[in-house]
Structure 1
Amino acid sequence: MATKLKKGMLVVRAWLVISESGESFIEEIGKQSIMKRTGLPARDLRALDPVLSYPSSILGRDRAIVVNLEHIRAIITAKEVLLINFNNPLVAQFVQDLQHRIVFDNTNVIPPQQVCGFKATDHSGSEMEETAGATWGSSSLNTHHLSAKNLTKRRALTYNSVDMKNQEIEGEGANSTINVPVAACPKVLPFEFKALEACLESACRCLESETRTLEEEAYPALDELTSKISTLNLEHVRQIKSRLVALSGRVQKVRDELEHLLDDDNDMEEMYLTEKVAARAVDQISTTEEVYVGKHEVDDESVDDHKTGDCSEINTSVEPDIEELEMLLEAYFAQTDGILQKLSDMSEYVDDTEDFINIMLDDKQNQLLQTGVILSAANMILNAGIVIVGLFGMNIHIELFDGKPIQFWETAPAILIKAQWSHVLLVHQLKATNGRTP
């Protein structure tokens, strides 16, 4: 749990910061500093408070992505990841995975000049090397020698897809063209998507592990309950069902959040932080160049400058291609859907076991009712014999009492035999009636 340190009126929390190079360090940052650093409102920061309980959510903002998935409570920017509950063992594992992912990508990346570099040739015959790294706004862009005539080219390089075919982007003059090769270069995921993928993978791995553990415990317990109904087994199954309902709700929330993102293209566009940073840099360069051109260009070039500005505005409004993010989210949506299906199958198995137990209990109840009816019939016949005995025990004078003793021994066994036969006939009649009942 992140610690809180009060310095006057300022509350400072300890955050674990992971940079885009994979380095991590703990930094104490105040709430206002976080809001200024990430551009997030206070309500988004409350969703990351470990003390509060908020549903799973992935929020795309102008300069950051807020991730609240299971044990992951993070703020992702284009350059770093901030974690608040870094003392959690599951979060520690997530940090290691993220650092390993970043280091692996950084050490195994292919230089873009060798894969999909292309040359831009202007009317003077000079060649200008450009790489796919410019797509993500890398520092390799040479911003010190931009001119108004190649500003449009730079905008197109920033926003066009790396899978573009051969095309010509015209700047000032008829001979100024950029030739792009047909071969597509492998696009490297931006930092925010690497971090988002690590968050989704960690959350899905946690849910998958809990589901597997619950499966290993639930199915044997349910089978044991069907073979032997006892208070201990019933209590064990009740606890398993409670855990199953809670876990299903958590998985359903994650699945619904991914489905919501996949259904809304605008939310996915908001998550392209690196492209938005590159767009801001291009806009800033555009503003600087327009001021410079306005001061130094001659009057007869003002028309071409105006056209260049119009083309630049069109290019900066190009929406990012959300296909790669959509594919990333769809993969984990399918994984959460599979986990939810496992939990659904387990829930059906629990329901089937409950139905089977209820049938067994109903059968036991029917047997008890049948036994009760038999005992009631025996009691009725016994009471009939007692009535007859009571009649003979009355203090009245009848001729039977004046007879020989042999008459008593004839009467008493006859009553007992008739009572026994009456009981047997009644039980047989009940069984015959029960056998004919549909």
Structure 2
Amino acid sequence: MEESRDPLLQPNNVTESVNTNGDNSRFNLINRGGKNQNFIGPGFPGLKKRGHAVGNRSWIKIEQNGNSKVVELDKATVMRHCCLPARDLRLLDPVFIYPSTILGREKAIVVSLEQIRCIITADEVFLMNSLDGSVVQYKSELCKRLQEEKYHSDDLPFEFRALELALEFTCLTLDTQVKELEMEIHPVLDELAKSISTLNLERVRRFKGHLLALTQRVQKVCDEIEHLMNDDGDMAEMYLTEKKQRNSCNDLYDQVQGNIISTSTMGTGGPTLGMGMVSKSAPVSPVGSASASGSIKLQRAFSNISSHNKHGSLLSSSVTGEPENIDQLEMLLEAYFVGIDNTLNKLLSLKEYIDDTEDLINIKLGNVQNKLIKFELLLTAATFLATVFAVVTAVFGMNFEDDVFNEPNRFNWVVSISASLCGVLYICFLFYFKHKKVFPL
């Protein structure tokens, strides 16, 4: 990768990271009244001098021929060169996290898709420089495709090739992440369905958080592409090459018309007679020949421009003002919309699988809870009857004299009858629960 500065930008717009004054210190000490003060400029004593490189960012500039180089540009230079407002550059700021966005402007397309953050013009791409693998792959793949395609014709203009590659990398990256999440989460869900444990529940909770975040990212990309497809004006705004050729055509047309008018004025500038009639002695005017040559030049210009325009909407839109033919971009967006929508459906299916697993777990937990309630109910009935039997033993345990204690057989009969009554009552409880359908027996 060649590191250089952009030659089309002003030298004073590209700031150096070294100190041009050659001082070793970062600020000058100026002695005033025997006291040393930190000073930079009039009226701001005590402030440290900032480096010249503050505000500059590293960009990768990719040209139409596939050449790339690293440039250091500040925000004002990028805004002026690409005719962008400051709010569009904030979308590309790596410090902030913004959702995926594709904006069509007058002379540029602002693309912020996952890690791919770039500004696409009709002639070049300014890619935010980063060590991220997606950025490096995007840069190398775009340069490779541009170098291969310059030897044969391609229907897509330069800006659409760069936009297509950004969409392709974004869709492939998101689809890969979805597949990896599926491979990780399916075994965990199957294990959780077999054995419910705190560890498995914690793992599923963590994967569900990743799934929610990934779904939001995919949904935002899908919504952004769908929004562009539904807005013909935004799609027409993205034909940067066509607009550039149209502007060149209009400038050439105005220039030729100006030449014709000036030639006509010079040709009719001879002496005239009253009522605006040209004198017979005036020289012959070359208006016809000049008009014919100007018309030939204009016709050639239009024919050259229309030959580069594959879908034939340039001349019609520039002359008649009719809407541009946006079928080319619409088909491009539709192809990637289908892919990203398929990825979104995978995430929704995975979310439904998680919900089904949660429902299965809740059913199992409800079954276990019902068994516990059944056991508790039976245990409560047995405890009640045991308490009744204990009352009988408590009565006989009191300190009083009775004839029943003189005959041991009576005591045995009392204990037997009490135990039998308790058993009969327990059976009655069971039939009562069955009649009320508290639980099947």
Report the TM range for the smaller structure's normalisation: 0.7 to 0.9
The equivalent of 1:284 in structure 2 is 251
Candidates 241, 251, 259, aligned match of 1:274: 241
Q: What amino acid is the match of 1:381?
A: L
Candidates 157, 169, 191, aligned match of 1:202: 169
Q: What amino acid is the match of 1:200?
A: L
Secondary structure of 1:86's counterpart equals coil
The equivalent of 1:95 in structure 2 is 139
1:26-37 → structure 2 map (5 Å cutoff) = 26-37=70-81
Task: Return the alpha-carbon distance in structure 2 between the equivalents of residues 312 and 399 of structure 1.
Answer: 126
The equivalent of 2:279 in structure 1 is none
Task: Return the alpha-carbon distance in structure 2 between the equivalents of residues 9 and 86 of structure 1.
Answer: 18
Task: Return the alpha-carbon distance in structure 1 between the equivalents of residues 156 and 176 of structure 2.
Answer: 27
The equivalent of 1:142 in structure 2 is none
Secondary structure of 1:326's counterpart equals helix
Task: Return the alpha-carbon distance in structure 2 between the equivalents of residues 10 and 362 of structure 1.
Answer: 63
The equivalent of 2:208 in structure 1 is 241
- Matched residue count: 354
1:211 and 2:145 correspond:
no
1:76 and 2:80 correspond:
no
The equivalent of 2:91 in structure 1 is 47
Secondary structure of 1:341's counterpart equals helix
Kept in 2: contact 1:204–1:336 (CA 8 A): yes
The answer to which of 347-356 and 254-263 deviates more is 347-356
% same residue:
40
* Greater relative CO, 1 or 2 (CA 8 Å, sep 6+): 1
- Give the CA deviation at 1:396: 2.4
Distance 1:432 1:85, change over 3 A: farther
Task: Return the alpha-carbon distance in structure 2 between the equivalents of residues 265 and 407 of structure 1.
Answer: 104
Task: Return the alpha-carbon distance in structure 2 between the equivalents of residues 60 and 284 of structure 1.
Answer: 23
Distance 1:375 1:323, change over 3 A: same
Secondary structure of 2:61's counterpart equals strand
Secondary structure of 2:57's counterpart equals strand
- Give the CA deviation at 1:286: 1.8
- Give the CA deviation at 1:315: 1.8
Task: Return the alpha-carbon distance in structure 2 between the equivalents of residues 210 and 8 of structure 1.
Answer: 41
1:293 and 2:260 correspond:
yes
1:107-126 deviations in whole A, cap 9, x for unaligned?
3x15xxxxxxxxxxxxxxxx
How much is the aligned-residue C-alpha RMSD, in angstroms?
2.6
Scaled by the length of structure 1, the TM-score of the pair is: 0.75
Any runs of at least 4 consecutive aligned residues in structure 1 with deviations exceeding 6 A, and if so which?
Answer: 302-306
Kept in 1: contact 2:189–2:357 (CA 8 A): yes
Task: Return the alpha-carbon distance in structure 1 between the equivalents of residues 439 and 54 of structure 2.
Answer: 83
Task: Return the alpha-carbon distance in structure 1 between the equivalents of residues 317 and 388 of structure 2.
Answer: 108
The runs of 5 or more residues in structure 2 that have no matched partner are: 1-15, 18-49, 269-286, 300-314
Distance 1:223 1:208, change over 3 A: same
The runs of 5 or more residues in structure 1 that have no matched partner are: 111-186
- Give the CA deviation at 1:431: 4.5
Kept in 1: contact 2:260–2:291 (CA 8 A): no
- Give the CA deviation at 1:386: 0.8
1:256 and 2:223 correspond:
yes
- Give the CA deviation at 1:264: 0.8
- Give the CA deviation at 1:421: 4.5
Task: Return the alpha-carbon distance in structure 2 between the equivalents of residues 246 and 328 of structure 1.
Answer: 27
- Give the CA deviation at 1:218: 1.8
1:328-407 → structure 2 map (5 Å cutoff) = 328-401=332-405, 403-407=406-410
Distance 1:266 1:214, change over 3 A: same
